[in-house]
Amino acid sequence: MTDRGWYDDSEYQDAVQRAERATRFGWAAIAGTTGVLAFALLVVAVVCAVAVLACIYVVMAMNY
C-alpha cells in the first residue's frame, strides 16, 4: 500500500479538475465556431441581398 491514506482521493480530484477544464475549453471552442459560422452566414446573406438589389437596379435602369 502507498504512504498516502486510505481515503486519499487527490488523484481523482485532479482528474475531475482536468476534465472540467477540458469541458469548458470544448464548449468555448463550440461556441466560437458557431459564432464565426453565424457571422459568415450573415455576411453571405447581406452580399446576396446586395447582389439582388444591384441586379434589380440594372434591369430597372435598362428600361428607362
In the three-class reduction of DSSP (H, G, I as helix; E, B as strand; rest coil), residue 45 is classed as helix
Provide the pLDDT for residue 47.
98
Task: Give the pLDDT score at 64.
Answer: 77
Q: Which regions in the chain score pLDDT beneath 50?
A: 1
Q: pTM for this one?
A: 0.67
For 12, 48, 64, the CA distances from 61, given in Å and listed in that order, are: 73, 20, 6
Would you state the pLDDT for residue 1? 46
- The neighbour count for residue 29, using CB atoms within 10 Å, is 10
